Amino acid sequence: MQPLLSVSAIEGIRIMDWDQIATVAQLVTGLATLAVAGLLVSQLRQQHRDSEREVLYTANRDLQDVIGRTLDAHFGPIWHRGSLDFDSLNPEEQAQFRHQKIRQKSLQDPELRSRQHNLFFEGTGASACSEFGMD
């Protein structure tokens, strides 16, 4: 005897079972997860490029500041005399000269820059910091 109404077949049209519906739902969910992962990877790459660009802009700005300071009408002569004969500078000028040298060195030495920002890397020497008494 055949039931009057079958859930899996209405008027000759076959309807999916619950297991088949669950399988299709899992496939759709998996594809959506992959799409989101791909989007996140592309956003991380873009963020990395942006951060690299920002580092370059910051380094360029810092370099321009340091160079501009050595060309300054007030500090330029101090820088020139200190480069030729450090002992010819008075104590205040020596402090200014040392400060400028530290700023220049920090642009060239990643370890010294990391110390200024309280970031430490294991296995690196402290030559730049000890050179200016910053141990």
Question: Would you state the pLDDT for residue 2?
Answer: 54
- Residue 10's H or E segment, with its range, is strand 9-10
Helical H segments across 71-124, by residue range: 76-84, 91-108, 110-116
Determine which helix (DSSP H) or strand (DSSP E) holds 9, and give its type and residue range.
Answer: strand 9-10
Contact 120, 90 (CB under 8 A): no
Cα atoms in the Cβ-side hemisphere of radius 13 Å centred on 121: 12
- Statement to judge: residues 135 and 77 lie in one domain: yes
- Mean residue pLDDT across the chain: 77
pLDDT single digits (tens) 71-93: 888 888 998 899 899 999 999 99
Same domain, 51 and 76: no
For residue 61, being part of any structural domain is answered with: no
Residue 14, domain extent: 1-55
The answer as to whether 26 is a domain residue is: yes
Predicted pLDDT at 57? 86
For residue range 96-111, list pLDDT tens digits in order: 999 888 888 877 766 5
**Final residue of a structural domain among 55, 81, 99:** 55
Does residue 46 lie in a domain region?
Answer: yes
Residues 109-117 have a mean pLDDT of 57
Kindly indicate the confidence band of residue 10, based on its pLDDT and cuts at 50, 70 and 90: low
pLDDT surpassing 70 at residue 42: yes
Task: Say if residue 135 is in the same domain as residue 76.
Answer: yes
Structural domains in the chain (count) = 2
129 has a pLDDT exceeding 60: no
CB 95 within 8 A of CB 75: no
